[in-house]
Chain A
């Protein structure tokens, strides 16, 4: 049975609405199925692999899915490939290469093959570089973070199953008490 249907069916049987977080936890239990295979159209396979690991360092798997589980790498591939200027594309690719170079120098393997602690060390370095960066260009860390967040929070799974999804609200309430709120709206 289709994974989502199976879970929706279960919810119905239980006769209770699961919160977004719990729901996502259940879903994340099916990791092997949720992991998206994707063909990069802009990045080469090595860059794509690095990117996939980087976005998961930014949004790792918790009771909600990791960034790579909801198509974030493919989203970034699409956005950079179709929307960015050539010089910015090149810079981003250079930055991916630099990440791997540093991974090799410090830990002797590409970023994707490092432990979480090792990956965090490299990410911390990117954060420090962003902290000391000037204002003229968006630093690599913030580029990466912005792309990861926008891809993650506008993905179908996060939008429909984790955040509060309400395509047809039918009403407007401008003073909803926060204690009545579980998750933020996705739309």
Chain B
């Protein structure tokens, strides 16, 4: 059982963790397992492993067969629905209702999120790719923004550590720029993916296709193995994938050191000028609006990239009138995301004799191949993109649906596997850190708890747009070169935030004059406050970022504990 912290009673902890998503769950686990009495706060409702109301529903079990009517979307989810498929019946309860949690846009920004214990670790895409020094050294090499204060060697042991716990299926490939991890056996590729992979390997010296590296268990650990239902985003009753709710939070609770307090809006972190440290967190009960303070020796801010920055901005004091640690005006700037939504697919010939069993939760990954060495250097843009892909085969009825026939004659084939296998892929590209891509507090508007609303002003620039030109050429060309037929190409604009990989706004760096956090994710000026979610990122890479947040969190926790032991905090 968890106990809800009561106001004015047990208000003092060794540590407070704000946010229970993928990084906050890790902070709670690491801190409690090292003996710290820890309070874990979340804005939203309690969710325990197994509280997945739609996990076993088939389309016919759901209202409107799972679709959500446009009227409801317009009323409750006008912004959350900007990411396709989010607010269907089976997942809409994992996303905020926009009118209850508003934000403002100078330019369109898709802030997609859910308020509940576990956060977006329940709905995440589960793709896990390590960074390498190609990424950590990119800024300094190119003179972009500022240098990362860490290198691959600093984070490598922590990737090892978190991956062993998370359970990631993947294939070791020995790539320098996409290092191998502690993988479980890879999930098999299907016949279409294998054919595409083999042809790419025959034709291209500079690119390769590997199995998606994904936080789904290809073999049982202490959680159940993946059942190949591909209903991950509803929450998995088997524990087949990693989330805070299935993994880190239950382990934190087993220590007896954890207190979870849901419905808790972190208003601000309180600064004590006498000690030069933070003394605690000011919290508003989301339901009663009651205000309370929780004191702690260390504070981990893991409220998500923009949630954490919002809290720091609201943590004003005489010492920090512009927000905690923000003596240099960097807070809120250098906002990044991955740009995507350029994709293509085609028919793979000669596989009519094959079908499949199971609905695998991941497919293929083509690691970045641009600007990784002298030969792959591009004139028009720096950095690069990776491609997620997958193959599959349809059914007779879907194949027949647009045909001008009807009746008995064609009916029996509708129940059979139908049409050719198809393979498709979609690119995720790196976005550079720009000072004027930013989020700030609106001076006039507040939410229902009196906290100033965030206002977004960010957009892609030349480097991203030039990179997209290359995606547009490469995707159809690779599909064609691999022998695929009837290629369909999809080129949609992608808006910042829509990748749901928002990063930056409280970046790490070596110099307190140009960064908010140091190399251990501590606020330079307030060393007992750690920010270890996406807010800390100094550049964006093109890899899905969550595994890096987890590694940075475990690393920062280890540092916090040794500093506490040395009486330095």
Contact = CB atoms under 8 A, between A and B. Distances in A.
Contacts of A187: 58-59, 359
B60 A155 contact: yes
Interface string B63-77: 011010111000000
A153 B397 contact: yes
B89 to A, nearest CB: 12
A60 B356 contact: no
Contacts of B417: 178, 181, 184
A145 B70 CA distance: 22
Interface string B393-418: 00111101110111110011011111
B188 interface: yes
A174 B396 contact: no
A83 B67 contact: yes
A127 B65 contact: no
B59 A59 contact: no
Contacts of A11: none
Q: How would you classify the secondary structure of chain A's contact residues: helix, strand, loop or mixed?
A: helix
Interface residues of A, number: 54
A120 interface: yes
B415 A64 contact: yes
Contacts of B191: 174-175
B255 interface: no
A177 B379 CA distance: 47
Nearest to A81: B69
A123 B416 contact: no
Contacts of B406: 57-59, 123, 127, 145
A162 interface: yes
Interface string B348-382: 00001111111110000000000000000000000
A153 B411 CA distance: 12
B67 to A, nearest CB: 7
Contacts of B227: 168-170
Contact of A175 (B228, B354, B359): B354
Contact of A156 (B56, B58, B404, B414): B58
B407 A184 contact: no
A146 B401 contact: yes
B357 A149 contact: no
B56 A154 contact: no
Interface in A122-141: 123, 127, 130-131, 141
A167 B229 contact: yes
A170 B358 contact: yes
A184 B228 contact: no
Interface string A147-187: 00111111110011011001111111111111111011101
B187 interface: yes
Nearest to A131: B404
A153 to B, nearest CB: 5
Contacts of A40: none
Q: How large is the interface on B (under 10, 10 to 19, 20 to 34, 35 or more residues)?
A: 35 or more
Interface centre among A20, A59, A156 (most CB of B within 10 A): A59
A170 B415 contact: no
B464 interface: no
A19 to B, nearest CB: 10
B189 interface: yes
A111 interface: no
B355 A162 contact: no
A185 B395 contact: yes
Interface in B185-216: 187-191, 193-194
B121 to A, nearest CB: 23
Contact of B412 (A62, A149, A150, A153): A62
A178 B64 contact: no
A10 B428 CA distance: 53
Nearest to B415: A183
Contacts of A57: 406-407
B70 A83 contact: yes
B59 A159 contact: yes
A79 B64 contact: yes
Nearest to A84: B70
Contacts of B188: 172-174
A187 B189 CA distance: 19
A59 B70 contact: no
Contacts of A176: 354-357
B65 A75 contact: yes
A142 B400 CA distance: 11
B356 A154 contact: no
A47 interface: no
Interface string B170-195: 00000000000000000111110110
Contacts of A152: 397
Contacts of B360: 172, 174
Contact of B401 (A145, A162, A168, A179): A145
A181 B417 CA distance: 8
A123 B404 CA distance: 11
Contacts of B352: 178
Contacts of A183: 415-416
A115 B418 CA distance: 32
Interface in B114-132: none
Contacts of B407: 57-58, 60, 120, 123
Nearest to B67: A83
A78 interface: yes
B359 to A, nearest CB: 7
Contacts of A154: 59-60, 65
Interface centre among B59, B64, B355, B359 (most CB of A within 10 A): B355
A82 B404 contact: no
B402 A159 contact: no
Contacts of A175: 190-191, 354, 356
Contacts of A146: 401-402
29 contacts: A21-B412, A21-B415, A64-B412, A78-B64, A79-B64, A82-B71, A127-B404, A127-B405, A127-B406, A130-B404, A131-B404, A153-B395, A153-B397, A153-B414, A156-B58, A168-B229, A169-B228, A169-B229, A170-B228, A171-B228, A174-B191, A174-B193, A175-B356, A177-B355, A178-B354, A181-B416, A181-B417, A187-B59, A187-B359
Given A60-B407, A172-B360, 7 more contacts: A21-B415, A75-B65, A141-B404, A169-B357, A173-B188, A184-B397, A185-B395
Interface of B: 56, 58-61, 64-65, 67, 69-71, 187-191, 193-194, 227-229, 352-360, 395-398, 400-402, 404-408, 411-412, 414-418
